[in-house]
Amino acid sequence: QERLVQSGAEVKRPGSSVRVSCLASGVTFHNFQITWLRQAPGQGLEWVGAMIPTYGTRHYGRIAPDRVTITADGSATYMELTSLRFEDTAVYFCARSPIIDMYRGKYYDFWGQGTLLTVSS
């Protein structure tokens, strides 16, 4: 079955770090872009950052450019977010997109199921 499988829900303290994984099952990351997005409760979708593993290119969005790191290892991709804040509480999604070039992707054709991150003291 073709899908992206994400790691489970996390509860973290402010100031700590979290690492969320996204494993490809039946799909490939080769020549695709992997993007991490997040959705705060009742809100829309925010772009966190993206990577094209084939080229090693990465871009981070304005949400947390100095706190997020996206990596890939074969059929898995990871998003690490440091110095967590209450406002980082959200569902985090990984999503795959066909690439336009070594920097840009298109629409998201496969999505992970989402990982709820709760930042609470």
Residue with smaller CB distance to other proteins, 23 or 61? 61
- Does 106 bind other proteins (CB under 8 A)? Our answer is yes
Residue with smaller CB distance to other proteins, 10 or 114? 114
Q: For the window 33-52, what string marks contact with other proteins as x by the rule CB under 8 A?
A: --x--------xxxx--x--
Residue with smaller CB distance to other proteins, 19 or 106? 106
- Does 103 bind other proteins (CB under 8 A)? Our answer is yes
Long-range CB pairs of 46-54 (<8 Å, 24+ gap) are 46/90, 48/79, 48/92, 49/79, 50/105, 51/77, 52/99, 52/102, 52/103, 52/105, 53/29, 53/77, 54/29, 54/30, 54/99, 54/102
Main-chain dihedrals φ then ψ at residue 88, nearest 5 degrees: -80, -5
Residues found near other proteins in the complex (CB under 8 A): 35, 44-47, 50, 59, 61-62, 93, 95, 97, 100, 103-109, 111-114
